[in-house]
Chains A and B, each alone.
Chain A
Amino acid sequence: MLRLEALKSVYEKLENRVVITIMGAVAAELQSIGHRPNFFYLQHAMGLASSMGLGVALTRPELSVVVFDGDGSILMNLGGLTTLARYRPRNLVHVVFDNESLLSVGGFPTATSTGSDIAGMAAAAGVPRTATVRTLDEFVGAFDTALASHELTTIVAKVDAKGPAGFVTDLALLENRFEFQRWLKSATSRPPSPAS
């Protein structure tokens, strides 16, 4: 599965949801599909996208939050999985794109390439719903189920170690940050769950 295809397959469902991504390929690819004011790209601070998502989810329970994480990032904040699980917000879906490598710095393999199981670690941390998916159909199914479940879910999507040619986009970091804050200020309620 290509991460770009996975993002495209759920893109329409992101409307009116709070979306927080990690840096690198995830941010660049989501922007290539089409930036929206409800998307925030944490272009550094590896590991903290899930913590930011938790901060939004806990303070705005009326909103639906989606975090697009990666294996390299979540491996830097494994303790954060225990914090997510401890507070288990019902309005947070945590997607981890696992390409088993640090792609943006040359593709060096991460520990998931030698068997470390992020969904297993999330489940053991206490995340109530977890899944590992390998095809586009499985991914869309897991994403819809997670949104409909209203339970904290970590979905590990195994994707190819392929990304965009470049990672710098024409969206300035602070432009994104202030636009996203204004969107959050005006956002009022979560979108309906997708039909399952």
Chain B
Amino acid sequence: MPVSVDHSRLIYDALKECGVGLVSALPETWLVHLIRMAEDDPEMILVRLAKEEEGVGLSAGAHLAGTKSAMLMQNHGFLASVNGIVSCAQLYRIPLLMLISHRGEFGERDPWQTEGGGVTEHVLQALRIPFAYLDSPSHVAHRIRKAQTLAYSSNKPVALLLCRDLMWTE
């Protein structure tokens, strides 16, 4: 499978470096290595979800209880989580570190992924969620760290879009 193991490892190590102790996830192709890394890490609490919106509640509970978390989801999962993000995380000022695989951008071959990619950034903007792209290994670690820093200083959700150029090796 041409999902980059090395770049997945970079992302995972950056999350660990940031003190993330709980990861919620719903599998999608680009996330498989990240989820396996969380699964193989005895220090990580991995929560496999039925639907991504649950992850907002998980992260809210973990945060109030003192554990830093990250959410792994596809952009369609982000779209499915919007009410939870607004009426739990934003209403109650909960920091969320959302790592969203940005399917449907240039290079997408799966026809069913092409609508979500076109609206993801617009929905993030409409929700006033700060976001940045992870599209090169050189900036993975410090962008994740900076995103988390802003999430905690603002007590708000932030998003990192995992891009094809980082996640996929042709």
- Chain A contact residues, CB within 8 Å of chain B: 18, 20, 40, 42-45, 47-60, 63, 77, 79-80, 82-83, 86-87, 173-174, 177, 180-181, 184-185
Contacts and interface: CB of A to CB of B under 8 A. Distances in A.
Contacts of B66: 59-60, 184-185
B91 A55 contact: no
Contact of A173 (B47, B57, B63, B91): B91
Contacts of A51: 54-58, 60-61
Nearest to A181: B64
Interface size class on chain B is 20 to 34
Contacts of B48: 83, 86
Interface of A is mostly: helix
Interface string B51-75: 1011111111111111101000000
16 contacts: A40-B64, A45-B88, A48-B60, A51-B56, A52-B61, A54-B61, A55-B58, A56-B62, A58-B58, A58-B62, A59-B22, A77-B53, A86-B48, A173-B92, A177-B92, A184-B65
A187 to B, nearest CB: 9
Closest 8 CB pairs of A and B: A55-B61, A51-B57, A79-B50, A48-B57, A44-B87, A45-B88, A52-B61, A59-B67
Contact of A48 (B54, B62, B64): B54
B61 A59 contact: yes
A122 to B, nearest CB: 14
B119 interface: no
Nearest to A59: B67
Contact of A79 (B54, B61, B91): B54
B138 interface: no
A80 B62 contact: no
Contacts of A86: 48
B130 interface: no
B84 interface: yes
B116 interface: no
B49 interface: yes
Contacts of B65: 18, 55-56, 59-60, 63, 184
